[in-house]
Each structure stands twice: as structure tokens, then as C-alpha cells.
Structure 1
Amino acid sequence: MSTFTFIHAADLHLGSPFQSLAVKEAAIAVRFAQATRTAFTKLVDQAIARDVDFMVIAGDVYDGEWKDNSIGLFFNREVARLAKADIPVIYLRGNHDADSVVTKSVPLPDTVHQFPTNKPSTIRLDPVGVALHGQGFAERAATDNLALAYPAPVAGAFNIGVLHTSLTGRPPHDVYAPCTVSDLQSRGYDYWALGHVHEFEIVSHDPHIVFPGNLQGRSIREEGEKGALLVRVADGRIAGTERLILDEARWARLCVDIGCHEGTATIAGAVADALKPLAEAAGERLLALRIELAGSCAFRRKLIAEREFLTDEIQAACHHVHPDAWLEKLVIAVVEPDGRGVGAGADRSIDLEAMLADITCDADVHHDVDAIVEAIASKLPGGIAAGNAPLGDPDELLSEARDLLLSHADARA
């Protein structure tokens, strides 16, 4: 067998709307939307620079139906660059760009090959001795084990299975095309190019079964570096792999224990110190941060009451470390020392804390809050559904309201 290289990518999600993010910060949402495109452009640049023999995209090229043809034309422009460099592209449809979801199209170069969605099939690249087997999604929800019907391996070729799947389950990803590692191994292929799961994972080395992750993180649930996988094959065996890091904007969580602090004045500096390793790893990328303050401290309610001021102070401190850092959310997860209740001088004839605890646990109150959140969310730009929680989780909103009332009770004591 010949020696060759290929790139395995998945989950481009071109055209992601970032609606919930736009509610928080429209300019940041625009930058993340552009980052998904830029990451794919960088992938094409890498493919051409490294002179790979072909590229595999294991589903979800698009995030959903196009509002217009601009996103299709962008994909066409980039794969046309690959065509000019004689690099074929083989891809299949996933749950986000299933036949029933994305109905628009633009003509793509002849070097782009798409697996059918009605049955598994084989695409052969005879010049490099490769046979690729796959089936795309006809509908958004694919509940059958598609892998078991994949064709037998082609004798004398390097066989690659391409599948958009959750395997046996990878929360929080929906369960699509479920199958086991044994199911995949039973097909006798040399490599499995998977998609759907947005985290990089080498599931198996015999044969290689790989999730490359997505090219660009789209929310705080998709932290860290993102990209694709370069695979080298020599004499019919995997000779090596290399992650290609392509993300243009990065999400990160940072937990800072403030239990040793005596007040709020030193918190921003502590956050800045903890941020330095993340900032160094991010380089010049936009860095979207969710910062959690943890530990035990007696001034928890003061933190709640002064959240807005503290948020601005921490944001400013983050800019001193990384000029392109954005504080997506400040989570105050500190707890009060044991035995601390209402303020020392508060009227203890009224157990305000107990009353509020009863209210926040009341099912009717939760129902009312859900209705209010849904009503407000439906009026936000783009008709954003309340299910996307653009206003925050209702339980968290109730908890924050309780803490604000208690902090005001302390202040009046």
C-alpha cells in the first residue's frame, strides 16, 4: 500500500446563529460567528500547506437550514481552493445538516463527494488506495444503528468508516446512530472517522476510532482548544496523528477560591493571577471566560449585593492580563461559614431566610417564574425561545433574588 496523509474533521457548524450569546453581547456573538468560518479557512490552509491527499468531514458541515445562500457559497469557495490543489473532500450529513433540515444547495466542485442518506455506500479513491464507507442522515433524528449495515472492507485498500454518532452515549450530546466500539471493530476497517461529539477523543487504537471534536467552540460547554486531526498512513497502517488547533476564539472556566480573603478588595487581583496560564495558552485569541468564585467567606451576601460592581472590577483586571478577554458570566458559588444566618442586628422575630427558602421551593412560584422568563424571551431579538435560557436558569434567578433580599436585610440591620 502507498503512503499518504489525510485530514479528519467534523462539526463545522457553519452558520451558527449564536442567538443566546447575542442577547448578552452582540459584538462578541458576531466575532464567534466569524470564528467558525475562519477556523474552516485555516483548516483548508493547513490541508494545502501540508499537501494532504484528501479530507474527510464526518457530519454537520452546516448548523441548520440556511437563511440565504451566503454560507453555502462560503463552503463552496473553500472547497474550491482544495479542488484547485487536487485535494478531494468526502463528507456526510449529520443531524444538523440532514436532508430534511438543509434543503438549499449550491453546486460544489466535482472533487467533493457526499455519501447518500438512504443507504450506506463506498467511495473509492483509487490513486491512493483508499475506500471510504458511510451513510448520511436523512432526518435530524437517526435512532438506528447505521454502522452494522456498512459494506464489507475492500480488499487491498485502506478502509475508512465515516459515521456521525454518539456511540454508546456522550452526554450532553443527543443519542444519534447509536452503536458500540465492538460494532465498529467488527466491520474490519482500518480507521473510523466519527463526528457529532464536540470533544477530541481517541476512543480506540485498534483500529483507530476517533472524534476530532469541532473546529470552533460555540459556548461555555465547549471549552479549550479545538481543531481537526492530521493522519499519516504508511504501508496500510496508521503511522502517526497530529492535532491541528484551529479555533479563533476560545471558551474557558476559571474557579478561584476566595475563602482566605477578608473582603472584596483583593478578589479581582486573585482572579487576574489565576487567569495567567489560560491567557498564555489562548495567545491572541478572543478568550470568553466564565469565572466562579468559590470557598467559604462571611461576606457572601455582600458579593451578591455588589455583583455588578465586582463584575466590572474583575473584567478590568482580566484585561490587564489578556486584552481580548471577555467575562461571559461571574458565578458566585461561595458558601457562608456554618451557623451564619441573617445579619447580627436583624429582627430575629422574623425568620426571613426560612421564609425565602420556602418560597423558592414552592412549585407554583417556579411555574410563575418559568412563565415570566418564557414571555420575556419570546420578545427578544430573533424570537429566542426560553428553552435556550438567554435570561439564565430560573432556579438560579430565584436563588439570586433570595440572596439579594438577604443582603439588603443585612445592610439594614
Structure 2
Amino acid sequence: MQRISFIHTADLHLGSTINIGGKGPAELEKIFTQAVFKAFENICDYALEYSVDFVLLSGDIYDRENRSVLANHFFNKQCKRLAKKGIPVLLIAGNHDPLNEDNELINSPDNVYIFSSRQVDSREIYNDKDELIAQVSGCSYRGKADSRRLYRDYETIPGIWNIALLHTQLDPDNINYMPCSLEDLLARGDIHYWALGHIHQARIINRSINRAVAYPGIPQGRDAGEAGIKGALLVELIPDCQPVISFLPTSKIIYQKKEISINSIANGNFSDLKRLINNKAKELKKIDSNCINLNCDQIEPLQELEGIIVDWVLTGRGELSELIKGQRDELGSFLLDSLQKEFLSRKPFIWTRKITDRTGKLLDEGLLGDSPIFKEIEDVIAVLKNKQGLKDELLSEFGFIWTDKSDREDSKAASFQLDDQKLYDLIDYARGLIIEELLERRERA
């Protein structure tokens, strides 16, 4: 075996749009509508920049089975750029774009190979010296769900790299998305790299000598559930070494969720709140990549970030909360409009998608004194936070209930997962609401 390199991407969802929370300004319309397309163009730029041996796409190239002429034409145009440099593109169709005979509106370039949906198929890869260096295998979805356990059917060739494309949730019990487990894939010791698709978060599931299992994630986030920098994976397979996997940032627009505490505002008004948000917005200069969680290198982006779409969450307690709640509609209109206009001209621009109010009024807990109800509340809160078994049960029950509405697939990775810190925050917020209600009832009594 000899050293090879390739780009692994998936879930392009060409033809889909990003969620900006309404109608955007005319000057940003093209950026918003082209963001998903631009991410794939960036992937092709990387392929040319690093002269990779081939490019892999692990399903959901298009957002729907009935793909648009525009999306089909754009994809072929980018692949033709790779064809000029002799870079093959090998792909499978996923559950969003299952393969049938009438799918392709425009004939694909000669360097594009689409794996059949009938059975697992293989394609041999040769270098410029006409030496066989790898075999890539895969099978496309034949419908919006596919229950076949195809990982068993991949054939390999000894003495070269064997790579498998698979669009799966990596769940042996989910029969909709080519069911299998990590253990099933690792049991196939003759497969050197499992190029997975379907999960929109980049993950290196397993890596060892001459082997890896990975998801590249979605190249361009389309909603708050796909926050942070998105990209693809540059993979180098080196004999008798762990695969070298690098994260390639491709998203021109990213989503962020930022909390703003009103605790620092005493006797303030909406102008003070707007000033507080403006100051926080100015701090959005350097955005960390999710590559930190991948345990791999991040390659510098070929182009600068164009924009950040932000969801602001107002938190904390103070007199300002009563103003916010008393003027909720006017506040929403005033703040949203002014914030959206405020940062259009900066680079990267900041677009406020929505503002969520989770503030509360100041609590004088001393008024509760030695109330047995108050003591009972504190005891319950302590149990919820500190009893490990109960905490695990809460995380298990509620950890995946906030699903990302932009993707209807039954995918836990597309959810807002509830970790320890979020659980503590929710418990504290619930505690505040209960005490606030108790104090209001005492005032009314």
C-alpha cells in the first residue's frame, strides 16, 4: 500500500436554504441563497489546492429526491473543475436523494461515479502511473428509508486501501437508515476507512493503525441546530500509521447562540439592553471550530467568514425584566430591527435571527423566611443536582427532546443535547420561576 489522500464530505443538501428567521435585506440575499452551494465550491477548491487522489460524498448530495435543475447543474459544474485535474468524484445517494433511473436531470461528467442502489458496487482507483492504489465501495439508497444491512456485503482487494461509503445513523435498531453498529463496522477488519454520512456533526468515531470511521458533518449549517463552523475532512492514509485527518472549514455563514445577562443593568431601559447586546456582538470576532472535539488539525480556511447568524437569549434578573415582559411585542420589534441593521456593514456581518426572553424580576428570598415550602424546594433542587442516579435519569429522559426542525430525520446528533451544565441551568431557571410565583402569591394574599 502507498500513501494516498482524499476529501470526505457528505450531506451537502444542495437545493436547501438557510434559516434567517424571516426576510433578509436585499444586500445579503445572494449570500444567504448561495451559502449551501458555496460550501461545496469551497470543498472543490480544497481538492484542487491539495491535489487529492479523489473526493468521496457519502449521501444526501441533494436535499430532495426531485432535485432542481439549478442544483444538478451547479454540482456538475464543480465536478468538471476537478475533472480537469484528473480528480475522480465517487458518491452514494442518501435518504434525502434516493437513486432512481430518472434522478439525473443532466448527465454527470465522466469523472463522477454514482454507486448503484441495487447492490453494493466497487470502483478501483489508479494513480497517474496507472498503479492500483485503492478500491472504493458503496451503495445508494433506493428510497427515503433503507433497512438493508449492507455493511456485510462490501468486497475488498488485499494489498491496497479499501474504503467504504455508507449513509447510516450507526444505530443497529433504526431500520430506516441502513442499520449497523460501530462494532459491526470494526469487525470488518478488511475495510480501512468507513466514510459515513447522515449525521450532521463532524465526528471521528474510531481511529487506529490503518483504520478510521468518521462523519464529516454538514458543510454549511442551515439552522441554529447546526451551529458553529462546518466543513469536510481531508484524509491521508499512510501505511502502518493512524490516518491523518484534518478539518476543512467550508461554511461561509455560521450560527451562534449567545446569552446576555441583564444582571449588570440597574434601573436601565431598552437602550441599555441594546448597548449590552452591541458590546457582546463586537466580541464575535474569532469563532472556534467544532474541530476541537474531533482531535484533529484544522486547516486555515481558503476564504474568510462572511457572516454570523445569532440567536440572542436574555437571562438574569432585574427591574429591566418587568419592562421587557410588559413591552414584549414592541421590544421584539425595536431590538430585532435595530440589531439587524446595526452590523450589516461589518465583516463578518452579524444578522440577528431572533431574541428569546428568559429573564425574571429580582427575588427577595429573605421574604420567604423559614417557610417550610421554601425549604422543601431547596431540598428538591439539591437532590436534582447532586443525586447521580436521578440526574442520569433526567438526562436520559429529556436529553434529546429539542429536535432540530430543519431536519426531520430521527437523528439524535441533530438535536440540542442536554448536558450537565444545561441541566443545571434549567433547574435554576425552574427554581426561580417557582420562588417568583410564591412571592407573588404572598403579595396577593
Could you say which TM-score interval applies, normalised by the shorter chain? 0.7 to 0.9
Aligned counterpart for 2:162 among listed residues 155, 159, 166: 159
Q: 1:246 maps to what in 2?
A: 250
Q: 1:379 maps to what in 2?
A: none
Q: 1:272 Cα deviation (Å)?
A: 2.6
Aligned counterpart for 1:272 among listed residues 270, 275, 278: 278
The CA deviation string for residues 303-339 of structure 1, in whole angstroms up to 9 with x for no partner, is: 1312322333444555586561110001111123347
Q: 1:25 maps to what in 2?
A: 24
Q: 1:114 maps to what in 2?
A: 114
The answer as to whether partners of 1:32 and 1:218 remain within 8 angstroms in 2 is no
The CA deviation string for residues 116-157 of structure 1, in whole angstroms up to 9 with x for no partner, is: 11211222214352111211100011234332x332432111
TM-score by length of 1: 0.74
Q: 1:150 maps to what in 2?
A: 153
Aligned counterpart for 1:191 among listed residues 190, 193, 207: 193
The CA deviation string for residues 354-395 of structure 1, in whole angstroms up to 9 with x for no partner, is: xxxxxxxxxxxxxxxxxxxxxxxxxxxxxxx9x9xxxxxxxx
1:179 aligns with 2:183: no
Q: What SS does the corresponding residue of 1:41 show, helix, strand or coil? A: helix
**Gaps in structure 2 of 5+ consecutive residues:** 289-303, 366-405, 409-445
Q: Distance in 2 between matches of 1:174 and 1:242?
A: 32
TM-score by length of 2: 0.69
Q: What SS does the corresponding residue of 2:285 show, helix, strand or coil? A: helix
Aligned counterpart for 2:349 among listed residues 311, 315, 324: 324
Q: What SS does the corresponding residue of 2:313 show, helix, strand or coil? A: strand
Q: Distance in 1 between matches of 2:11 and 2:237?
A: 23
Q: Distance in 1 between matches of 2:70 and 2:31?
A: 17
Q: Over aligned residue pairs, what C-alpha RMSD do you find?
A: 2.9
CA spacing shift, 1:313–1:105, aligned 2, 3 Å: closer
The answer as to whether partners of 2:147 and 2:175 remain within 8 angstroms in 1 is no
The CA deviation string for residues 40-81 of structure 1, in whole angstroms up to 9 with x for no partner, is: 112111111211100000011111144642221111111111
Identity of aligned residues (%): 29
Q: 1:284 Cα deviation (Å)?
A: 4.3
Q: 1:84 Cα deviation (Å)?
A: 1.2
The CA deviation string for residues 3-51 of structure 1, in whole angstroms up to 9 with x for no partner, is: 1210001111111145x65844375565333011111112111111211
Within a 5 Å distance, the mapping from 1:300-319 to structure 2 comes to: 300-304=321-325, 305=327, 306-316=331-341, 318=343
Within a 5 Å distance, the mapping from 1:79-94 to structure 2 comes to: 79-94=79-94
Q: 2:441 maps to what in 1?
A: none
1:132 aligns with 2:154: no
Q: Distance in 2 between matches of 1:168 and 1:66?
A: 27
Q: Distance in 2 between matches of 1:7 and 1:220?
A: 26
Q: Distance in 2 between matches of 1:80 and 1:315?
A: 39
The answer as to whether partners of 1:269 and 1:317 remain within 8 angstroms in 2 is no
1:335 aligns with 2:356: no
Q: Report which stretch shifted further, 274-283 or 237-246.
A: 274-283
The CA deviation string for residues 136-188 of structure 1, in whole angstroms up to 9 with x for no partner, is: 100011234332x332432111111111111139xxx9962232110110112
Counterpart code for 1:155: P
Q: 2:71 maps to what in 1?
A: 71
Q: Distance in 2 between matches of 1:10 and 1:194?
A: 8
Q: Distance in 1 between matches of 2:322 and 2:222?
A: 32
Within a 5 Å distance, the mapping from 1:290-309 to structure 2 comes to: 290-304=311-325, 305=327, 306-309=331-334
The answer as to whether partners of 2:205 and 2:212 remain within 8 angstroms in 1 is yes
Within a 5 Å distance, the mapping from 1:305-384 to structure 2 comes to: 305=327, 306-316=331-341, 318=343, 324-338=349-363
Counterpart code for 2:11: D
Aligned counterpart for 1:281 among listed residues 273, 276, 287: 287
The answer as to whether partners of 1:293 and 1:333 remain within 8 angstroms in 2 is yes
Q: 2:421 maps to what in 1?
A: none
Q: Distance in 2 between matches of 1:284 and 1:82?
A: 24
Q: What SS does the corresponding residue of 2:286 show, helix, strand or coil? A: helix
Matched residue pairs, number? 338
Q: 1:228 Cα deviation (Å)?
A: 0.6
Q: 2:40 maps to what in 1?
A: 40
Q: Distance in 2 between matches of 1:236 and 1:197?
A: 29
Counterpart code for 1:216: Q
